[in-house]
Amino acid sequence: MRTRKTDILILGSGGAGLLAALAAHDRAPELDILVAVKGLFGKSGCTRMVQGGYNVALSPGDSAGSHFLDTLEGGAWINDQELAWTLVSRAPDCVRRLETVCGCFFDRNPDGTIHQKAFAGQSFDRTVHKGDLTGIEITNRVSEQLARRGVPVLEEHRAVALLPARGGEKRVAGALLLDIRTGEFLAVNAKCTLLATGGGPTLYRISACAQELSTDGMTIAWEAGAEFCDMEMVQFHPTGILTGEGLQITGTLLEEGLRGAGGHLKNALGERYMARYDAGRMERSTRDVVARAGYTEILEGRGTGRGGVFIDVSHLGREFVWKNFKGMAERCRDLGYDLAGGPVEVTPTAHYMMGGVKIDPACRTGLPGLFAAGEDSGGTHGANRLGGNGVANSTVFGEIAGEAMAAEAAGAPLLPFDPGAARRAEEAALSALGGEGSPYPIRAALKDLMWEKVGLRRTGARLQEAIGEVEALRERAARTRAGGGKAYNLAWQHVLDVRNQLAAAELIARSALERDESRGSHFRDDAPHPRPEGLYNIFMRKEGESFRMERRPVRFTRLRPEAARPAPVSSTVD
Amino acid sequence: MTEAVFHIRRGGEADDPEERFDRFRVGVRPRMTVLDALVAIQGGEAPSLSYRYSCRVGMCGTCALRVNGRPRWACRTLVEGLGGEVRLEPLAHFPVLRDLAVDMGVFFDKMKRARGWLEPTGEAAREPVRLAPESPERRRIEPHIECITCGICYAACGMVGHDPGYLGPAALNRAFTLVADSRDGAGAERLAEVCGEHGAWRCHSQFNCTEACPKGISPSDAIQALKRRALAEGARALAASVLRGIAPGSGRPAA
Transcribe B135-199 into DSSP letters: SHHHHHHHHHHT----SHHHHH-HHHHH-TT---HHHHHHHHHHHT-TTBS-HHHHHHHHTSTTS
- Using one digit for the tens of pLDDT, what is the confidence trace for A238-250? 999 999 999 999 9
Contact B29 A141 (CB under 8 A): no
How confident is the model over B98-137, as pLDDT tens digits? 999 999 999 999 999 999 999 999 999 999 999 999 999 9
pLDDT at B239: 60
DSSP E strands in A56-209: the ranges are 116-117, 127-128, 153-155, 157-164, 172-179, 185-195
Residue B31: which of A111, A336, A485 has the nearest Cβ?
A336
Query: Are B47 and A105 within 8 A, CB to CB?
Result: no
CB A348 within 8 A of CB A295: yes
Model pLDDT, residue A566:
56
pLDDT, one tens digit per residue, over A557-572 is 999 999 886 544 444 4
**How far is Cα A397 from Cα A354, in angstroms, rounded to an integer?**
14
- Taking residues A219-224, report their average pLDDT: 98
CATH class of this structure's domain A236-350: alpha beta
End-to-end CA distance of chain B: 59
ipTM of this complex: 0.95
Residue A411: per-residue pLDDT: 87
Beta carbons of B126 and A243 less than 8 Å apart: no
Q: Is the pLDDT of residue B196 over 50?
A: yes
Kindly list the residues from chain B whose CB atom is less than 8 angstroms away from the CB atom of residue A252. 55-57
Are the C-beta atoms of A507 and A228 separated by less than 8 Å?
yes
Does A15 contact B at CB distance below 8 Å? no
SS3 string of A465-487?
A: HHHHHHHHHHHHHHHCCECCCCC
Residue B249 CB neighbour total at 10 angstroms: 15
Within 8 A of B133 by CB-CB distance, chain A residues are 107-110
Residues of chain B with CATH 1.10.1060.10: 105-244
- The pLDDT-based confidence of A168 (bands split at 50, 70, 90) is confident
Percentage helix, strand, coil for chain B under 3-state DSSP, each rounded to 5: 40, 15, 45
Is the domain covering A421-528 a CATH 1.20.58.100 domain?
A: yes
Predicted local distance difference test score (pLDDT) of residue B233? 83
Q: Quick: pLDDT tens for A33-65.
A: 999 999 999 999 999 999 989 999 999 999 999
What's the CA gap between B154 and B94, in Å, rounded?
A: 9
A250 three-state secondary structure: coil
Looking at residue B250, its pLDDT comes to 43
Mean model confidence pLDDT for chain B: 92
For chain B, say whether A136 makes contact (Cβ under 8 Å).
Answer: yes
Interface of A with B in 191-210 (CB under 8 A): 210
Among B48, B111, B216, select the one facing A489 at the smallest CB separation: B48
Give me the mean pLDDT over the A534-550 stretch. 97
Q: Say if A101 is an interface residue toward chain B (CB within 8 Å).
A: yes
Evaluate if residue B45 carries a pLDDT over 70.
Answer: yes
CA distance B243 to chain A (A): 23
pLDDT for res A273: 98
Distance CA A505, CA A445 (A): 12
CA distance A13 to chain B (A): 12
Which chain B residues are closer than 8 Å to A48 by Cβ?
54-55, 59-60
Looking at domain B105-244, which CATH architecture does it have? Orthogonal Bundle (1.10)
Q: How confident is the model at residue B184 (pLDDT cuts 50, 70, 90)?
A: very high
- Residue A393's pLDDT is 98
Contact of A110 with chain B, judged by CB distance below 8 Å, is answered with yes
Say how far apart CA B103 and CA A545 lie, in whole Å. Answer: 41
CB contacts, 8 Å: B16 with chain A: 485
Q: Closest CB to B55: pick one of A102, A108, A210.
A: A210
Q: With an 8 Å Cβ cutoff, is A305 touching chain B?
A: no
For CA atoms A394, A395, A396, A400, the dihedral sign is positive
- As a whole number of angstroms, the distance between CA A218 and CA A102 comes to 29
- A362/chain B closest Cα distance in angstroms: 25
Mean pLDDT of all residues in A407-412: 93
- Yes or no: say if B113 and B167 are a contact pair by the CB < 8 Å rule: yes
Q: Are strands A377-378 and A356-358 parallel, antiparallel or unpaired?
A: parallel
pLDDT (mean) for B75-96: 96
Residue A445 predicted with pLDDT over 90: yes
Q: Is the pLDDT of residue B14 over 90?
A: no
In this predicted model, what pLDDT tens digit does every residue of B206-235 receive, in sequence order?
999 999 999 999 999 999 999 999 998 875
Q: How confident is the model at residue B90 (pLDDT cuts 50, 70, 90)?
A: very high
What ranges in A253-388 are assigned the alpha helix state H? 257-260, 287-299, 318-324, 326-334
> pLDDT tier at B253 (50, 70, 90 boundaries)?
very low
Which residues from chain B sit within 8 angstroms of residue A110, using beta carbons? 132-134
pLDDT higher than 90, residue A178:
yes
Enumerate the residues of chain B whose CB falls inside 8 A of the CB of residue A144.
111, 116-118
* Residue B252 scores a pLDDT above 90: no
Q: How far apart are CA A170 and CA A368, in angstroms?
A: 7
- The pLDDT score that the predictor gives to residue A220 is 98
CA distance B80 to chain A (A): 11
The beta-carbon neighbor of A490 closest among B33, B42, B132 is B42
What average pLDDT does the segment A526-544 reach?
97
> What value does the mean pLDDT take over residues A468-493?
98
Supply the pLDDT for residue B234.
76
> Quick check: A379 and A230 in contact, CB under 8 A?
yes
A141 touches chain B (CB under 8 A): yes
Q: Which residues of A touch B56 (CB under 8 A)?
A: 210-211, 248-249, 252
**Cβ atoms within 10 Å of A22's Cβ, excluding its own:** 25
* Nearest-angstrom CA–CA distance, A180 and A487: 7
pLDDT at residue B240, as a whole number: 62
- Nearest Cα residue to A568 out of A69, A52, A77, A58: A69
Q: Range(s) for CATH 3.90.700.10 in chain A?
A: 236-350
The answer for A 275-294 residues in CB contact with B (under 8 A) is none
Domain with CATH 3.10.20.30 in chain B: 2-102
Indicate the average pLDDT of chain A.
Answer: 96
Report CB contact under 8 Å: A147, B112.
yes
Q: Which run of H or of E encompasses A420?
A: helix A419-430
Is the CA virtual torsion A291, A297, A299, A305 positive or negative?
negative
| DSSP classification of residue A573 | P
With beta carbons less than 8 A apart as the criterion, state whether B110 and B153 touch: no
Check whether A554 has a pLDDT greater than 80.
yes
CATH homologous superfamily, domain B2-102: Beta-grasp domain (3.10.20.30)
CB-nearest partner of A249 from B75, B97, B98: B75
Sheet holding A344-353, edge to edge: A234-241, A344-353, A309-312, A264-266
CA–CA dist A557, A554 (Å, integer) = 9
Question: Active-site residues of A: which are they?
Answer: 237, 259
pLDDT at position A572 is 40
A137 and B CB contact within 8 Å: yes
User: How far apart, in whole angstroms, are the C-alpha atoms of residue A248 and residue A253?
Assistant: 12
Task: Please answer whether residues A138 and A71 qualify as being in contact, where contact means their C-beta atoms are separated by less than 8 angstroms.
Answer: no
Cα A89 to chain center, whole Å?
Answer: 21
| Residue B188 reports pLDDT greater than 90 | no
